Amino acid sequence: MPASSLIQIFLYIGVVILLAFPLGSYMAKVFNGEKTFADRVLKPVERGLYKVTRVKPDREMNWKQYAVCLLLFNLVGFLFLYLVLRLQGHLPLNPQHLKDIPRGLAFNTTASFVGNTNWQAYAGETTMSPLSQMLGLTVQNFLSAATGMTVVIALIRGLKRKTTDRVGNFWVDLTRSLLWVLIPLSIVLALFYAWQGTPQTLTANKSVKTLEGSTQTIAMGPVASQEAIKELGTNGGGFFNANSAHPYENPTPVTNAVQVMAILLISSALCITFGKMVGNRKQGIVILVAMLLLFVSLLSLAMWSEASGNPRIAKVGVSQPTTMEGKEVRNGVANSVFYAESTTSTSCGAVISSHDSLTPLAGMVCMLNIMLGEVVFGGVGVGLMGMLIFAVLTVFIVGLMVGRTPEYLGKKIESWEMKMAVIIILIPSACILIGGAIGAITRAGTASTLNPGPHGLSEILYAFSSAAGNNGSAFAGLNANTTFYNVFLGVMILIGRFGTIVPALAIAGSLAKKQPTPVSLGTFRTDKPMFPVMLSSIVLIVGALTFFAALALGPIVEHLMM
């Protein structure tokens, strides 16, 4: 890889880290109810919303009430989006007169966007009307991201509070996530994209004459607004089928740089928010360092694999075995790999290249990022949630080794917390392995693969990883718009999303009731340099033990065959 590309990538990472500190501190003030510079404008709006919806902001909830409100809210969003898609052909703002979305695809798309996955088994510009894109998909991009933020804030409160069963008010956390964080950042980013050339219009598609004299239809629509929240909310759903490889979604090298930093920004900043809210800034920095260790390690493996290229190409006399096939030709191999690493280490799923065309080991890195639970930054809110669950697991293992009751932030980790933590880790893992096995042995599953052998297995395994891990990217060699995959992957998305959120809230409720234990000489310090090394090691060990056999049959054997 050119040295300039590597320097550029580390500059991106550096900028994200620098921005994470002020944004994280700001979000801590938002969720602690402290004064911020935006209060003068947003407080009246917040009070108006509570008045209309009859929400009592000072009435906090226990974890069960919090979970019920979260699930009911997302159920209503699911039903609304499903109806919008099923009735698309009869609704306004449909200049192309697109038809209603079929039942299976509507279910899959609804589950995908409500579950912050944005798996797309369709071409957006030829399937979704501007109304469906705006009122349906973009709205859910905001709401699903805000839902993820509410979960981690409740978990942080559980770690911080003592002798109470209250973890906050879901409606307040949701409102403040939207008004103070997601909407302002998205407005700024959407205006930037529009300035750079991304369309934001409700006009019909344009028909133009090409230089060859033929006619080409150019899709138009409200792209900039969806593009902004797609990255900031780690959603990933593209307005166009080509996603961020499309010149309207990603028109310049500057937008490409901003996109990849926006994908990582809020998830990184929430680590600082965590440290601020628990009253120990080092705790947040330690979690951020653990994420960076995993991110850089896996990125290095993917970069090395792509730089090594395909030895079969080298054997036929090509001096440079690295291939541009499937890469973003405007930004080069290094930026394509970095974007792929960023989008799979979060739950974003946006792409500028075909992950199907990566070398086997680089493709495996993308898949492994998702399989690890997408805790390497992860989705907005739920990524930090997953890493905190692994932190609980880490201190439990350390406690077993030294023969004392494990503690995290002074809270004793007991059987209830460990049962819930194991459930959180096992649910997506089981969905990936069981779903992948069924896809690999059934005719309905294998009929959609475009490649035989190990690569075909990788396509199936990646699809179920992307669904259960709420990522949304794909290997692109799989025809997922079938009844089997639309229904099966949609179910896996919902299980992977809400099957982990509810146990996390249960942990929050349990920890909030406990009296913190004072620090002693026997306390395992989780704010020291050794902890991020142990934490990242535990994440990798759990991932390897769970998925090595499946990866060995797919990308690893494909690498050895190559």
Bridge partners, residue 43, by sequence: none
- Cα distance between residue 111 and residue 116, in whole Å: 9
Q: For each successive 10 residues of the chain (562 residues), what is the average pLDDT?
A: 81 96 97 95 96 94 97 98 96 92 96 95 91 94 97 96 94 97 97 95 85 86 93 92 92 94 96 96 96 95 87 65 73 90 93 90 94 91 95 91 83 93 96 96 92 90 95 89 96 97 97 88 85 95 94 93 84
**By the 8 A CB rule, do 474 and 121 touch?**
no
- Cα distance between residue 342 and residue 344, in whole Å: 6
Quote the pLDDT of residue 333. Answer: 86
Instruction: Please tell me the pTM assigned to this model.
Output: 0.94
Reported for 482-485, long-range contacts at CB under 8 A and 24+ positions apart, including other chains, are: 482/104, 482/444, 482/447, 482/448, 483/104, 483/444, 484/442, 484/444, 484/445, 484/448, 485/108, 485/121, 485/439, 485/445, 485/448
Bridge partners, residue 222, by sequence: 200
Dihedral sign for Cα 189, 191, 196, 200, please.
Answer: positive
Nearest to 414 by CA among 429, 404, 423: 404
**Residues 6 or more apart from 375 whose CB is under 8 A from it?**
291, 294, 383, 386, 387, 390, 539
Mapping DSSP to helix (H, G, I), strand (E, B) and coil, where does residue 135 land? Answer: helix
User: In this structure, what DSSP letter does residue 223 have?
Assistant: H
Q: Cα 411 from chain centroid?
A: 29
Quote the pLDDT of residue 318. Answer: 57
**By the 8 A CB rule, do 101 and 112 touch?**
no
Quote the pLDDT of residue 525. Answer: 87
Quote the pLDDT of residue 316. Answer: 67
Nearest to 398 by CA among 277, 276, 528: 528
Quote the pLDDT of residue 319. Answer: 54
User: In this structure, what DSSP letter does residue 88 have?
Assistant: G
- Cα distance between residue 34 and residue 473, in whole Å: 38
- Cα distance between residue 57 and residue 35, in whole Å: 16
Bridge partners, residue 208, by sequence: 216
Quote the pLDDT of residue 76. Answer: 97
- Cα distance between residue 489 and residue 495, in whole Å: 10
